[in-house]
Amino acid sequence: MPSSYPNSYYAATSRYQITNSPLPQKLEVETCIIGAGYAGLMTALGLIERGHESVAIVEKNKVGFGCSGRNGGFVFGGYSLGPKALINQVGEDKARDLYQLTKSAVDLIRHRVAQYEIDCDLVGKGVIWANWFNDQQFLLQEKAFMQDKMGLDWTYLSPEQLKEQIKSERYHGGLFEPNAMHFHPLNYALGVAQAITQQGGQIFEDCEVLDIDYQSAEKTVKTAQGNISAKNVVLSGGGYLGDLCKPVARSILPIATYVMATEPLGDRLKDFINTEAAIYDTRFAFDYYRALTDTRILWGGHIHANTNKPKNLDYLLKKDLAKVFPELQNLKVEYDWQGWMAYARHQMAQIGQVAPGVWYGIGFGGHGVAPTTAAGEVLAEAISDQGDSYKQFEPWGLPWNGGPFGPAAAQLSYWWYQLKDYLKEKLQ
């Protein structure tokens, strides 16, 4: 039975219709990509832009069905693993190179939106990192660190300057990242998919992959509709990969995150959010939100190892919103939804080769718009024999996710960081 998108603001406001033919019983391509989220789409587009003419994507559900079409829409550099941890693990030079991949990806996203005329409400007005804690020295240290180590010039916002843009007593200044953006993530995914098919790439939706025979030079991707023979296979199913290719599947945990969209506020919006920048805060368990073009507030937060949707999700997110904007505690929520991110134990994006001609781009851990674009470029480069930058990700590999103990361990870690946030707030 064909799948459909979950009920979300993004699904309700999508502007594209992807038309594709059913998969034939037998299909031969140069590269078969599993998963039509950002990682798969960007790999396909990267290959096509390098001259490849034989690329197919198979997707169990719909283009952008998972977190690629459900996320907060933030577009900025970095990985789920923070830059300080990157430096600690691989040194300053390699960490800067890795971060630069995502910085370049932000520029590439901006370029592609213009090049392919993608209608995705792109707002290039930056992102604000709002300080939840009363500690200006922290902000100044972070600004200096990002300048010295990553070459990024973030702007310090004093508490008074921030309050002009975010009308809340909750925050204590912030940092502004000017090169960042935000957009409608599902329309972006669908716009990229359209660009792929217009240039000869094939996308097969509602096509579940059952098994992959990747031991021989010619790989076989077995699906519910037919078989695909390919020289290269790319695994990019995110939190929805399932059990395909055990070494990759056993390295990730599907983790749920939550988003809502309020009713439109109209002219009242600027009484609360007087900026076109997207916003997130300095806690580990942070909120993230932004004003939408139709004057709604899109608000996200929380993660949970239990992938079932909470019955009181709108209440949980409205409670978070009211901590920042108490006057909006009775604001109506018109959409709420969840998505499954793919987390690795080391928190770093997983990009590489599990066997000759069998590639993976997965494990972006809730920080995936720019890193998935970087992954697509890295993988397209490798498949095209144009470079081996994927080797920069080899230090992290594909560690076991803990099996049945993994979700519990992940949830305990999250609660521990929430407790640290709570204690820091109470002791300030």
Angle, helix 92-115 to helix 369-383, in steps of 10 degrees: 90
Chain centre distance of CA 235:
16
Tell me what the mean pLDDT of segment 421-427 comes to: 75
What does the pLDDT read at residue 1? 47
Cα separation, 276 vs 180, whole angstroms: 11
What does DSSP assign to residue 366? Answer: T
At residue 2 the predicted structure's pLDDT band, cuts being 50, 70 and 90, is low
Among 174, 54, 75, CA closest to 125: 75
At residue 253 the predicted structure's pLDDT band, cuts being 50, 70 and 90, is confident
pLDDT single digits (tens) 37-82: 999 999 999 999 999 989 999 999 999 999 999 999 999 999 999 9
How many CB atoms are closer than 10 A to CB 122? 19
Chain centre distance of CA 316:
22
Q: Cα angle vertex 179, ends 255, 418, to 5°? A: 30
Do residues 386 and 50 touch, judged by C-beta distance below 8 A?
yes
Mean pLDDT, the chain, rounded, equals: 93
What does the pLDDT read at residue 246? 87
- State the distance between the two ends of the chain, measured CA to CA, in whole angstroms: 55
At residue 21 the predicted structure's pLDDT band, cuts being 50, 70 and 90, is confident
pLDDT value at 109 more than 90? yes
Tell me what the mean pLDDT of segment 267-274 comes to: 97
What does the pLDDT read at residue 3? 67
Tell me what the mean pLDDT of segment 124-143 comes to: 96
Q: pTM for the full model?
A: 0.95
What does the pLDDT read at residue 310? 86
What does the pLDDT read at residue 328? 97
**φ, ψ dihedrals at 136, nearest 5°:** -70, -30
pLDDT value at 348 more than 90? yes
Cα separation, 276 vs 278, whole angstroms: 7
How many CB atoms are closer than 10 A to CB 312? 10
Sorted by where each starts, the structural domains of the chain and their CATH numbers stand as: 9-71+186-253+345-399 (3.50.50.60), 121-181+256-340 (3.30.9.10)
Cα separation, 166 vs 414, whole angstroms: 27
What does the pLDDT read at residue 331? 96
Q: What percent of the chain has pLDDT over 90?
A: 78
Q: What percent of the chain has pLDDT over 70?
A: 99
pLDDT single digits (tens) 311-324: 889 999 999 999 99
pLDDT single digits (tens) 152-207: 999 999 999 999 999 999 999 999 999 999 999 999 999 999 999 999 999 999 99
At residue 420 the predicted structure's pLDDT band, cuts being 50, 70 and 90, is confident
pLDDT single digits (tens) 350-367: 999 999 999 999 999 888
Higher-pLDDT residue of 37 and 404 is: 37
What does the pLDDT read at residue 245? 84
Tell me what the mean pLDDT of segment 247-259 comes to: 90
pLDDT value at 268 more than 60? yes
Most confident of 193-202, 235-244, 407-416: 193-202
